[in-house]
Amino acid sequence: MYLAKFFHRAPGDDDRELMLIPGSNPMVIGVHMNWKGDPDADEYLREEFSGIADAAMAFRRHVVDLVAAGYVETSDTQYTLRTLPPDPQAKPDWQKGLDELMILALAAPRAEQSRQLDALAGTPAVHEPLYLWHTARRSYGARDDAAEAVLFAEQARDTIRARRAAKQPHYAWSLLENDLEGRILELLSDAYRDAGNPDAALKTIEHLCKTAPSHDRILKRAELLCGFFPGRREEAFDDAYQWSEFGGYEDIMAFPGYAEYLARRKAGRSRGKTGKSAKGWRWKPGTKASEANVSAAEQTLGVRLPDDYRKFLLTRGETELLVRLPESSSELRFYAPDELAIQLRNLLDFIAHSEDELEEACAYFRKEYGVSLKHLVPVAEPSQLSRCLLLHVEPGERYGQCFQWDHDGAWELEQRQPSFDVALRALTDGIEQRDATQLAFFDL
């Protein structure tokens, strides 16, 4: 996290950036804007601190010094900015107030944070997701009204999503939008749990684990599964088995049943009493798509999806194929119907950076593989790998064929299969047989 303030002083040949960098070794860094000299010599200040409270105090002091020297704080917030515009706009007081609230959240007791929240009441700040998130944090921290924390966190979540959908800006200082949204959803999941709604808590944290996974979020999901969803407890054991070296899984590993799971996993045995080798994969409970969901996706894509894949969406939908081998794990995440068009656009944007390059790529894929690049729809991706399973949906001879794709060979298609069902069976059979070619798709 880099929290940056920018300062302008006419005529503008000595503008400044001041950064507060939290972390285990907090720092305050000052940078000359519009720097013309050695790129490695643009800093005028670098101070390191043993704690964030001292760093925050120094940061505020440097802000005061710059203002006293005739500088005006501007509305810019992007910490990578190195040149201010000719006539930068001054930052409004309510935005400065939100900045201070963020600093207090890092370095001050809750009572001081609460006073700052109250001081911002009646200003435009109260409509910003950053303010609403801090309000939810205050309610949750008080531990006396989880329902109120849910209310404010939901409002923060809905506000940031509504602004994004309407392409309207929101003010979050230098926090990236996905960072702020992730923090909001983490808090919301905790508040749902404490308010007695574990289903909503799990749904929220699972969304985060899918869109922005981290060790802490995977651990939160495992704790929820272990504590509230006995039918899915083995998923929590999977996480403990895979990630326990990073700490935090002690309670899960002490849970009744984990020792038996551990022995079975290491031996590669199935759940049954036959002693046969485990197949190494299983399906995670998913969210089935409705016929309306599938039809809407088809309308967006402009084609009818192959029957075998339609059946998969209607019976399994958004789900994961869990790969669990004695020494390694992976997941193959299958997209919901409403994600298909987005994933196709992402694929095309990665392969080609301009319309001319896209047309060149389309011609290449047609000549080399006999398929339409614009009809290669990503339907699934292995976890934390830039790879995907592609389904060709252009009507004609190649309709319904599947391919594997990797970003390292963006203009290459591999493992052609005649249909989605055949491609899926090749993957699951390959896992059972420990086939190196199929396991390579999962980087196993």
Residue 398, strand partner residues: none
Average pLDDT over residues 294-320: 96
Burial bucket for residue 218 (CB in 10 Å: 0-12, 13-18, 19+): buried
The residue type at 208: L
Q: What is the pLDDT of residues 4-60, one digit of tens each?
A: 999 999 888 889 999 999 988 999 999 998 888 887 788 999 999 999 999 999 999
pLDDT at 272: 40
pLDDT at 37: 80
Cβ atoms within 10 Å of 418's Cβ, excluding its own: 11
Q: What is the arrangement of strands in the sheet containing 376-382, beginning at the earlier edge strand? A: 281-283, 319-325, 328-334, 376-382, 387-392, 402-406, 414-417
Q: Is the dihedral of CA 87, 92, 98, 102 positive or negative?
A: positive
Say what percent of the chain tops pLDDT 90. Answer: 80
Whether the per-residue pLDDT at 276 is higher than 60: the answer is no
Average pLDDT over residues 431-440: 92
Q: What is the pLDDT of residues 411-425, one digit of tens each?
A: 999 999 999 999 999
CA–CA distance, 434 with 444 (Å, rounded to integer): 10
**pTM of the complete model:** 0.81
Q: What is the pLDDT of residues 112-149, one digit of tens each?
A: 999 999 999 999 999 999 999 999 999 998 776 789 99
Whether the per-residue pLDDT at 274 is higher than 90: the answer is no
Mean pLDDT of the chain: 92
pLDDT at 41: 84
Q: What is the pLDDT of residues 94-117, one digit of tens each?
A: 999 999 999 999 989 999 999 999
pLDDT at 270: 45
Cβ atoms within 10 Å of 88's Cβ, excluding its own: 18
Q: What is the dihedral of CA 421, 422, 426, 432, to 10 degrees?
A: 50
Instruction: Write out the H or E segment, with its range, that includes residue 100.
Output: helix 93-107
Q: What is the pLDDT of residues 222-252, one digit of tens each?
A: 999 999 999 999 999 999 998 888 899 999 9
Average pLDDT over residues 185-192: 97
* 394 within 8 A of 400, measured Cβ to Cβ: no
- 269 pLDDT band, cuts 50/70/90, is low
Give the contacts of 367 (CB within 8 A, at least 6 positions apart). none
Give the contacts of 433 (CB within 8 A, at least 6 positions apart). none
Burial bucket for residue 165 (CB in 10 Å: 0-12, 13-18, 19+): exposed
CATH number of the 291-440 domain: 3.40.1580.10
- 85 pLDDT band, cuts 50/70/90, is confident
